[in-house]
Protein backbone atom coordinates (compact mmCIF):
# COMPACT_ATOMS: atom_id res chain seq x y z
CA UNK A 1 0.00 0.00 0.00
CA UNK A 2 1.44 3.40 -0.96
CA UNK A 3 2.10 6.46 1.17
CA UNK A 4 0.14 9.40 -0.14
CA UNK A 5 2.14 12.61 -0.02
CA UNK A 6 0.98 16.13 -0.84
CA UNK A 7 3.86 18.55 -1.60
CA UNK A 8 3.08 22.25 -1.84
CA UNK A 9 -0.39 21.49 -3.15
CA UNK A 10 -2.87 24.28 -3.75
CA UNK A 11 -6.31 23.08 -4.73
CA UNK A 12 -8.68 25.44 -6.46
CA UNK A 13 -12.06 25.70 -8.12
CA UNK A 14 -12.66 27.75 -11.28
CA UNK A 15 -10.17 29.03 -13.84
CA UNK A 16 -8.15 32.24 -14.23
CA UNK A 17 -10.11 35.22 -12.95
CA UNK A 18 -12.71 33.02 -11.31
CA UNK A 19 -10.10 30.89 -9.57
CA UNK A 20 -10.72 30.32 -5.91
CA UNK A 21 -8.08 28.58 -3.82
CA UNK A 22 -9.74 26.26 -1.33
CA UNK A 23 -6.69 24.50 0.06
CA UNK A 24 -3.38 26.37 0.06
CA UNK A 25 0.15 25.07 0.13
CA UNK A 26 -0.71 21.70 1.62
CA UNK A 27 2.20 19.59 2.81
CA UNK A 28 1.05 16.39 4.35
CA UNK A 29 1.76 12.68 4.20
CA UNK A 30 -0.90 10.01 4.76
CA UNK A 31 0.55 6.80 6.09
CA UNK A 32 0.11 3.59 4.16
CA UNK A 33 -1.92 0.77 5.68
CA UNK A 34 -3.40 3.12 8.30
CA UNK A 35 -6.62 4.98 8.88
CA UNK A 36 -5.87 8.65 8.24
CA UNK A 37 -8.66 10.93 9.39
CA UNK A 38 -9.20 14.49 8.18
CA UNK A 39 -11.17 16.34 10.83
CA UNK A 40 -12.57 19.81 10.34
CA UNK A 41 -15.62 21.98 10.24
CA UNK A 42 -17.71 22.38 7.11
CA UNK A 43 -15.86 24.31 4.41
CA UNK A 44 -12.41 23.55 5.80
CA UNK A 45 -11.41 21.73 2.60
CA UNK A 46 -11.55 18.10 3.72
CA UNK A 47 -13.61 16.81 0.81
CA UNK A 48 -11.62 18.92 -1.65
CA UNK A 49 -8.44 17.14 -0.61
CA UNK A 50 -10.05 13.76 -1.34
CA UNK A 51 -11.34 15.01 -4.68
CA UNK A 52 -7.84 16.04 -5.75
CA UNK A 53 -6.78 12.39 -5.61
CA UNK A 54 -9.40 11.38 -8.14
CA UNK A 55 -9.07 14.40 -10.44
CA UNK A 56 -12.41 15.88 -9.49
CA UNK A 57 -10.70 19.24 -8.83
CA UNK A 58 -7.64 21.04 -10.24
CA UNK A 59 -4.50 21.58 -8.24
CA UNK A 60 -1.00 23.01 -8.42
CA UNK A 61 1.89 21.18 -6.79
CA UNK A 62 2.64 17.48 -6.55
CA UNK A 63 0.84 14.51 -5.14
CA UNK A 64 2.80 11.27 -4.84
CA UNK A 65 1.88 7.64 -4.32
CA UNK A 66 5.16 6.56 -2.72
CA UNK A 67 7.62 8.14 -5.18
CA UNK A 68 5.38 8.27 -8.23
CA UNK A 69 3.63 11.50 -9.17
CA UNK A 70 -0.05 10.65 -9.59
CA UNK A 71 -0.17 12.73 -12.75
CA UNK A 72 1.80 9.88 -14.30
CA UNK A 73 -0.79 7.29 -13.28
CA UNK A 74 -3.98 7.07 -15.33
CA UNK A 75 -6.95 7.54 -13.03
CA UNK A 76 -8.32 4.01 -13.46
CA UNK A 77 -4.90 2.55 -12.65
CA UNK A 78 -4.61 4.40 -9.35
CA UNK A 79 -6.64 1.72 -7.61
CA UNK A 80 -8.54 4.19 -5.45
CA UNK A 81 -12.00 3.58 -4.15
CA UNK A 82 -14.24 6.53 -3.27
CA UNK A 83 -17.15 6.31 -0.89
CA UNK A 84 -19.37 9.37 -0.52
CA UNK A 85 -22.11 10.47 1.89
CA UNK A 86 -24.94 9.23 -0.29
CA UNK A 87 -25.90 5.61 -0.53
CA UNK A 88 -25.54 5.07 -4.24
CA UNK A 89 -26.21 1.43 -4.85
CA UNK A 90 -27.53 0.81 -8.36
CA UNK A 91 -31.28 0.48 -7.71
CA UNK A 92 -31.98 -1.91 -10.60
CA UNK A 93 -29.26 -4.35 -9.57
CA UNK A 94 -29.26 -6.94 -6.82
CA UNK A 95 -26.76 -6.58 -3.98
CA UNK A 96 -24.67 -9.30 -5.61
CA UNK A 97 -24.60 -7.42 -8.92
CA UNK A 98 -23.74 -4.20 -7.10
CA UNK A 99 -20.81 -5.75 -5.26
CA UNK A 100 -19.64 -7.67 -8.31
CA UNK A 101 -19.81 -4.61 -10.56
CA UNK A 102 -16.24 -3.32 -10.04
CA UNK A 103 -14.91 -6.83 -10.72
CA UNK A 104 -17.07 -7.23 -13.80
CA UNK A 105 -15.87 -4.00 -15.40
CA UNK A 106 -12.30 -5.04 -14.61
CA UNK A 107 -13.04 -8.27 -16.49
CA UNK A 108 -12.29 -10.68 -13.67
CA UNK A 109 -13.11 -14.32 -14.50
CA UNK A 110 -16.53 -15.62 -13.45
CA UNK A 111 -15.34 -17.90 -10.65
CA UNK A 112 -13.14 -15.20 -9.19
CA UNK A 113 -16.06 -12.74 -9.20
CA UNK A 114 -18.31 -15.23 -7.42
CA UNK A 115 -15.62 -16.13 -4.88
CA UNK A 116 -14.63 -12.58 -4.03
CA UNK A 117 -18.17 -11.24 -3.91
CA UNK A 118 -19.40 -14.01 -1.65
CA UNK A 119 -16.37 -13.73 0.63
CA UNK A 120 -16.81 -9.97 0.95
CA UNK A 121 -20.55 -10.32 1.60
CA UNK A 122 -19.85 -12.93 4.29
CA UNK A 123 -17.27 -10.64 5.89
CA UNK A 124 -19.76 -7.80 6.04
CA UNK A 125 -22.68 -9.96 7.19
CA UNK A 126 -24.86 -9.41 4.13
CA UNK A 127 -24.55 -12.82 2.45
CA UNK A 128 -28.23 -13.44 3.07
CA UNK A 129 -29.24 -10.39 1.02
CA UNK A 130 -27.23 -11.11 -2.12
CA UNK A 131 -30.24 -11.75 -4.36
CA UNK A 132 -32.22 -8.77 -3.08
CA UNK A 133 -32.30 -5.22 -4.36
CA UNK A 134 -31.08 -2.42 -2.14
CA UNK A 135 -34.53 -0.97 -1.47
CA UNK A 136 -35.57 -4.06 0.52
CA UNK A 137 -32.58 -3.72 2.86
CA UNK A 138 -32.13 -1.48 5.90
CA UNK A 139 -29.87 1.58 5.67
CA UNK A 140 -27.19 -0.24 7.66
CA UNK A 141 -27.23 -3.20 5.28
CA UNK A 142 -27.09 -0.85 2.31
CA UNK A 143 -24.06 0.86 3.84
CA UNK A 144 -22.40 -2.52 4.29
CA UNK A 145 -23.13 -3.38 0.67
CA UNK A 146 -21.53 -0.08 -0.37
CA UNK A 147 -18.41 -0.82 1.65
CA UNK A 148 -18.31 -4.32 0.18
CA UNK A 149 -18.46 -2.83 -3.32
CA UNK A 150 -15.63 -0.40 -2.48
CA UNK A 151 -13.36 -3.11 -1.11
CA UNK A 152 -14.11 -6.13 -3.28
CA UNK A 153 -11.42 -5.41 -5.86
CA UNK A 154 -8.65 -4.81 -3.29
CA UNK A 155 -8.13 -1.08 -3.77
CA UNK A 156 -4.87 0.33 -2.43
CA UNK A 157 -6.52 3.45 -1.10
CA UNK A 158 -10.03 3.89 0.24
CA UNK A 159 -11.33 7.45 0.35
CA UNK A 160 -14.35 7.89 2.61
CA UNK A 161 -16.16 11.20 2.60
CA UNK A 162 -18.35 11.35 5.72
CA UNK A 163 -19.90 8.03 4.70
CA UNK A 164 -21.97 7.57 7.84
CA UNK A 165 -23.16 11.13 8.42
CA UNK A 166 -26.78 10.20 7.67
CA UNK A 167 -26.89 7.28 10.11
CA UNK A 168 -28.11 7.33 13.69
CA UNK A 169 -25.37 7.42 16.37
CA UNK A 170 -25.61 3.71 17.28
CA UNK A 171 -25.40 2.53 13.70
CA UNK A 172 -22.63 5.04 12.99
CA UNK A 173 -20.57 3.62 15.84
CA UNK A 174 -21.15 0.10 14.57
CA UNK A 175 -20.11 1.04 11.03
CA UNK A 176 -16.97 2.80 12.29
CA UNK A 177 -16.00 -0.35 14.15
CA UNK A 178 -16.54 -2.34 11.00
CA UNK A 179 -14.38 0.02 8.92
CA UNK A 180 -11.63 -0.14 11.52
CA UNK A 181 -11.61 -3.93 11.63
CA UNK A 182 -11.75 -4.24 7.83
CA UNK A 183 -8.91 -1.75 7.46
CA UNK A 184 -6.78 -3.79 9.83
CA UNK A 185 -7.66 -7.05 8.15
CA UNK A 186 -7.10 -5.86 4.59
CA UNK A 187 -4.28 -3.41 5.30
CA UNK A 188 -5.80 -0.82 2.95
CA UNK A 189 -4.84 2.85 3.31
CA UNK A 190 -7.93 4.73 4.43
CA UNK A 191 -8.34 8.49 4.16
CA UNK A 192 -11.50 9.29 6.09
CA UNK A 193 -13.16 12.68 6.18
CA UNK A 194 -15.38 13.68 9.06
CA UNK A 195 -16.53 16.64 11.10
CA UNK A 196 -17.30 14.42 14.08
CA UNK A 197 -14.81 14.48 16.93
CA UNK A 198 -16.04 11.14 18.22
CA UNK A 199 -15.70 9.37 14.88
CA UNK A 200 -12.24 10.85 14.35
CA UNK A 201 -10.90 9.80 17.76
CA UNK A 202 -12.30 6.28 17.47
CA UNK A 203 -11.14 5.65 13.93
CA UNK A 204 -7.88 7.48 13.43
CA UNK A 205 -4.42 6.01 13.48
CA UNK A 206 -3.29 9.43 12.26
CA UNK A 207 -5.42 12.51 12.72
CA UNK A 208 -5.19 15.70 10.63
CA UNK A 209 -7.15 18.73 11.77
CA UNK A 210 -8.05 21.21 9.07
CA UNK A 211 -9.04 24.82 9.32
CA UNK A 212 -9.70 27.09 6.36
CA UNK A 213 -7.80 24.86 3.95
CA UNK A 214 -4.76 24.36 6.15
CA UNK A 215 -3.63 21.44 8.30
CA UNK A 216 -3.34 23.07 11.70
CA UNK A 217 -2.52 19.97 13.74
CA UNK A 218 -1.60 16.35 13.10
CA UNK A 219 -0.52 13.26 14.99
CA UNK A 220 -2.01 10.25 16.70
CA UNK A 221 -5.21 10.97 18.63
CA UNK A 222 -3.44 9.95 21.84
CA UNK A 223 -0.64 12.43 21.27
CA UNK A 224 -2.99 15.26 20.35
CA UNK A 225 -5.12 14.64 23.43
CA UNK A 226 -2.05 14.41 25.67
CA UNK A 227 -0.75 17.71 24.25
CA UNK A 228 -4.15 19.34 24.92
CA UNK A 229 -4.18 20.45 21.32
CA UNK A 230 -6.33 23.58 21.12
CA UNK A 231 -7.85 22.73 17.71
CA UNK A 232 -8.84 19.28 18.88
CA UNK A 233 -10.39 20.82 21.96
CA UNK A 234 -12.29 23.21 19.75
CA UNK A 235 -13.69 20.33 17.70
CA UNK A 236 -14.65 18.59 20.92
CA UNK A 237 -16.43 21.66 22.19
CA UNK A 238 -18.28 22.25 18.94
CA UNK A 239 -19.63 18.70 19.11
CA UNK A 240 -20.40 18.35 22.80
CA UNK A 241 -21.10 21.81 24.12
CA UNK A 242 -24.03 23.65 22.66
CA UNK A 243 -23.44 26.98 21.00
CA UNK A 244 -25.18 28.75 23.86
CA UNK A 245 -22.89 27.27 26.47
CA UNK A 246 -19.78 28.28 24.56
CA UNK A 247 -21.14 31.76 24.23
CA UNK A 248 -21.72 31.92 27.98
CA UNK A 249 -18.19 30.63 28.63
CA UNK A 250 -16.65 33.25 26.34
CA UNK A 251 -18.60 35.94 28.20
CA UNK A 252 -17.22 34.67 31.52
CA UNK A 253 -13.66 34.67 30.14
CB of 225 to other proteins, least distance (A): 34
Residue 96 beta carbon to other proteins: minimum distance, rounded to whole angstroms: 4
Instruction: Return the number of the residue (17 or 135) whose C-beta is nearest other proteins.
Output: 135
Nearer to other proteins, 77 or 135 (CB): 135
Q: What is the closest distance, in whole angstroms, from the C-beta atom of residue 227 to other proteins in the complex?
A: 37
Q: 59 or 96: whose CB is closer to other proteins?
A: 96
- Kindly state the smallest distance separating residue 82's Cβ from other proteins, in Å: 15
Residue whose CB is less far from other proteins, 147 or 217: 147
Calculate ∠ Cα 14-15-21, nearest 5°.
Answer: 55
Per residue, the 3-state secondary structure of 132-176, as one string, reads CEHHHCCHHHHHHHHHHHHHCCCCCEEEEECCCCCCCHHHHHHHH
Measured distance CA(24)–CA(19) in Å, rounded: 13
Footprint of other proteins on this chain (CB under 8 A)? 85-88, 91-94, 96-97, 100, 104, 109-110, 113-114, 117-118, 128-142, 166
Give the Cα separation of 170 and 48 in Å (integer).
28
Encode 137-154: b = buried (16+ Cβ within 10 Å), e = exposed.
beebbbbbbbbbbbbbbe
Amino acid sequence: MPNVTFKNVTIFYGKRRNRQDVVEDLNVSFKSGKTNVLLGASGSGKTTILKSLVEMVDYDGDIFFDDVDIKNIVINKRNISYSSQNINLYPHMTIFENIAFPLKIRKYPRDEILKRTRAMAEKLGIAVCLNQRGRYLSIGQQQRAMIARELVYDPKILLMDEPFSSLDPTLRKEMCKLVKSLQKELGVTVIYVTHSYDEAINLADELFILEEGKVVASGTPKKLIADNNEYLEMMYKSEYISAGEIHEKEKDD
